[in-house]
A and B are shown apart, each in its own frame.
Chain A
């Protein structure tokens, strides 16, 4: 009687783990075949606002900083890096070097299934034609 109950409980737990963990199992299986994403680097420019390692890890922090400066603090003064001036603007600065969002942002974000809403409003200058 007691043994039966333990078996039943264990089976129920396993089933629950299988169902509720499905997204994780699925990603783990799929991830085994996946290659590391290769975002397209700008042809002409060699330097970004911050070193590549810092941009890779913290680009969102920088973008939030720029966003809050420009929108909330009204501080739209350009950022000077190595003699070059960058406007605090996603479309106006980032996309001038990384011309195709599809080939840059989307490569990494797509591979980890993270979909930030930036371009729901900000304009991807490489796109043409009507929006869906």
Chain B
């Protein structure tokens, strides 16, 4: 069959798109999680936080302690320079403008959990000039402490304030005797954040925070597996995500 000029141009255009656009598009859009037919391929780790179960004990910090102890996150007294992988703040600050003054009286002024959203389309990954932060195939956004140059561009890019920088040496606030020995500390001048306990996920375990919650308010699992705990919870409830309008596609859901 003879190829018309138009066919040729169409073909050339598509080839060009694949050659030059394809590779970078995959990085930018996070479409690696979808196969060519648009169906999910592989896993996408996600978390669902049951807001109402979490607010039952306002003073509870079990998940935060478990995470921060397990990952040697220092307690820095100066809040402006604090390192936080998972922390608590009001729902109104987590999702500005979502709460109105009338509905859900029990949630007004209440705290919820905040952590890295493990976005499917992470702006931090897009801007990193060295590939020190990147997204794994299972959707977890990682930090390579060996690679990070400490430019803090990812902190400017993250619309959730989920990244912390080591302004000084974090070991000043840790003790050699009581650190978790199976996890490294960090050093001054690099950025760090929650990694969904990737080191545990690789061993078939769930995150430390989920395991520490007595209320079972933190669910963890594969968003692409219809039978997973996260998917089941999402199917029966209404869930919110932080700033969905920014197109980052967070993997952390807040169950109402």
Contact = CB atoms under 8 A, between A and B. Distances in A.
Within 8 Å by CB, do A and B touch in the complex? yes
Interface of A: 67, 70-72, 74, 76, 89, 91-92, 117, 120-123, 125, 127-132
Given A72-B144, A121-B145, A130 B176 contact: yes
Given A123-B179, A123-B185, A125-B181, A76 B174 contact: no
A91 B184 contact: yes
Interface string B158-201: 00000000000101101111010110111100000000001100
A74 B175 contact: no
B93 interface: no
Contacts of A71: 142, 144, 146
A86 B29 CA distance: 38
A132 to B, nearest CB: 8
Nearest to A73: B136
7 contacts: A71-B144, A72-B142, A117-B187, A120-B187, A127-B176, A128-B177, A131-B175
B182 A92 contact: yes
Secondary structure dominating the interface of B? loop
Interface residues of B, number: 25
Contacts of A120: 187
B32 to A, nearest CB: 14
A131 B172 contact: yes
B25 to A, nearest CB: 22
Contacts of B145: 121
Nearest to B189: A120
Interface string B123-151: 00000000000101010001011100000
B202 interface: yes
Nearest to A72: B144
A123 B184 CA distance: 6
A24 B48 CA distance: 60
B181 A91 contact: yes
B237 interface: no
Contact of A129 (B175, B199, B202): B175
